[in-house]
Chain A
């Protein structure tokens, strides 16, 4: 590829079929821009998705794309990476696809640390099947399948990823161009499974579910954009900070100006801190956005070939393998005795 590609070069001619106003449009824009920014090579880039609104994504990106079956995209992408480790693979999934029907595959892709990006569009609802509650829906969610409100405890995508052994966990909001863009670039540069939770608004079935921290008037106090090596501050002019309460082993919001020494500094390699940050919910706490966790990592497919250097390298021959046991010969015209 000679000339630097533009975001529009990553758009396909397919008519986009998401509902008008769906957060997916914004994500698509950020992704095509990120692809252009990182200099992605279209023929080496693959989007693999499962089933759901978000999983339509591959049709709209001018790269290779595989729209597979419900929940299985991480497993298919794993096989793809084994066959061709050189590929730049993006898995697109949702809260139902990734955490419900495909929870097992997501867990194992993360623990194995397969070298692809996993974009989990979390809208806390089943969109494509018309609005049933999902594994991330909050208790009390009224839906066609829960007319009197859901009551079971939702899963937290970030904590799920952490518990599964993910080494890269980041979060962003669909319409936050800058936040999402920098998270996507960081994910692209990661050597291993890069898990990105995107808070995505489903305008039809779950509109405004993230308003508690995405509303313009609330975002300053309800979001914290974490950066490695920088103090964990938020609010008007960074007036608030996060401190660690050693007695209760929890985070506390403090006055950052009054107690600057007590404000935690973000360490993206610290899994304990990641757990505390990922567990924060609005409005009691700000919601942590940005790269929450990034640890030194080597992707599964690299370790696979390093650990088993002979795998898939055809240096031997079947003719020889056939004879790697005791072989006897029956000679022509001299049938065995008797």
Chain B
């Protein structure tokens, strides 16, 4: 059965309407409905078709919440099209809802006039009640204005797979592929890549393989059936203009793992990755666990503190020690990070930020650990801090973090977030031969009669990094630790002047990083103008598109920071060229504080902590509101979203 109602359609001038240039699709269902798999397979096909894309998997916190409940809804959003796609899209144009709860949760997100495909087999009174619908939404009027396609997905799936003798529940599990087949038809996609994936995945289980293939083909055939085509839109998407090269799709977690492995290769040192399971940082642990032959060793420690300590032990032993966690775990690691600072050992600490405080929103994204990274340790304990801005950017930032850690012999904090870890985008593969090698500070030969400390603490005057001396190296036995040490000899020292000198040295070392990082560039817009929209981390895509949507005559620019500590040396001058500075952040104003602290600039804050990324449109609206209400003075403080 299928029924369609009319849409009234709507278009917004910031480019959020569905057309051949850009379309946003969202799959939603129970955690067990397989929507994540459906999403990743759809994306794989879109990539091969030449679309640009960005994805946003939106998981519930519970692994298998009770079926049919709103808190068990899992969703996967895909934005694809021809123009540069940098976010997973604001409001979906197409929703495939596997049950009433998925409809209920996702309806408020949809674009006006969106197309909704409903699996009506699940619209039983029991499921409606579980979703909190008193009346069937199909009758209550809440769906007015949307284009509704009602399909008995479960029934069709069971029919399509009847020949394979699966149990009813196993057969029903193929419905994600049936629905995928239908969506593939809607977007005129070739399904051969999906078919070959199914063939590979279920190679050992012919029945499941064949049933899934049958479901996929049946869904596609269903779309083709003549009487339906009138109601079901057939959407053509243009292909994107990519620079020539080899491409793949990549999630942030994968790119980060590859980046760390690449850093090991570039430095020709083993990478020892020590971690404790935590959402949303675990994908990195899982990914690196497969990279043994890339020179990576993975150690799952007993707790967060052990993880950072084992990484420090590995660095002390001459490998690149890396640890990873999310906010709560990073908080536990702070004392040990201080040890690495004091002992002048390299270390990379990856923080996949999530909503907090405490357990907070483990599966939702936030950028609220910037204070923790820059300021959050006992004593004067500065470390370089970097942030990745997109899934593929994680690769470069990981290499950069290791490069800084080894050059300056310091811990480095790399900020990413739950959104980046799981989001995917197309990635032009880097050429490993073109990436500069990472040099290691090798100790000088110890001369006869020379005190060992002269070698161990022979800091490079430019970087203040000391030689990386590890046990096993003959003739260089030395003792080191967390107690303050003499700046020359490295012996324990409680001397007042020495502590001042060491504290100054540690600050100067982090400041010295600025000499080695690129000057800050403007992403979009002029170098001087009316508004600089300054962001960091995963808000990149949304800010980029929002600023592009503002007419050039308004002189609005986008500046996006990779280096948060130290800041690029030209940032103060660059920001001085703008009348106002808008800082959108998924926190309550942490970069705004940092800019005020380090550069003395006042900014206009735009803060959002809903666990969801910024929408392009809300940023556009914010910029527009500033443009229409120009204040007499620069520097407006503390304005909030």
Contact = CB atoms under 8 A, between A and B. Distances in A.
Interface of A: 12, 14, 42-46, 48, 51, 58-59, 62-69, 72, 75-84, 86-87, 104-105, 107-108, 304, 308, 310-319, 321-323, 325-333, 335-338
A82 B316 CA distance: 11
Interface string B562-598: 0000000000000000000000000000000000000
Contacts of A63: 477
Contacts of B296: 311-312
Contact of B248 (A69, A310, A326): A326
B252 to A, nearest CB: 15
B335 interface: yes
B462 to A, nearest CB: 27
Contacts of A323: 246, 248, 429
A71 to B, nearest CB: 8
Given A84-B472, A330-B247, A75 B479 contact: no
Contacts of A108: 301-302, 306
A76 B482 CA distance: 13
What 8 A-B pairs come out closest when comparing CB atoms?
A79-B313, A67-B481, A83-B317, A79-B310, A310-B292, A75-B309, A314-B295, A316-B293
A325 B309 contact: no
B40 to A, nearest CB: 11
Nearest to A88: B471
B44 A326 contact: yes
25 contacts: A51-B482, A62-B477, A64-B477, A65-B481, A72-B306, A78-B301, A79-B311, A82-B310, A82-B314, A83-B319, A84-B471, A86-B472, A87-B317, A108-B306, A312-B319, A314-B264, A314-B294, A318-B258, A318-B294, A321-B258, A330-B242, A333-B244, A335-B242, A336-B240, A338-B239
B336 A72 contact: yes
Given A72-B305, A76-B310, A317-B265, A14 B482 contact: no
A34 to B, nearest CB: 18
A79 B309 contact: yes
A43 B477 contact: yes
B293 A65 contact: no
Given A68-B482, A77-B313, A336-B240, A322 B270 contact: no
B316 A80 contact: yes
A315 B293 contact: yes
Contacts of B309: 68-69, 72, 75-76, 79, 105
A310 B306 contact: no
Contacts of B44: 326
Contacts of B335: 69
Contacts, number: 232
Q: In the complex, which of the residues A46, A48, A83, A105 has the most CB atoms of chain B within 10 Å of its own CB atom?
A: A83
Interface string B441-480: 0000000000000000000000000000011111111111
A319 B314 CA distance: 25
B626 interface: no
A81 B317 CA distance: 8
Given A83-B270, A105-B305, A312-B270, 20 more contacts: A14-B479, A59-B479, A66-B316, A67-B480, A75-B309, A79-B313, A79-B321, A80-B314, A80-B471, A81-B317, A83-B316, A104-B302, A312-B272, A314-B264, A322-B430, A325-B248, A326-B249, A330-B245, A330-B247, A335-B242
Given A63-B477, A82-B297, A321-B258, A331 B244 contact: yes
Nearest to A315: B293
B55 to A, nearest CB: 15
A329 B246 contact: yes
A46 B258 CA distance: 32
Given A316-B293, A323-B429, A328 B247 contact: yes
Contacts of A316: 291, 293-294
A62 B477 CA distance: 7
Nearest to A13: B491
Interface in B284-301: 291-299, 301
A79 to B, nearest CB: 3
Contacts of B313: 48, 66, 75-83
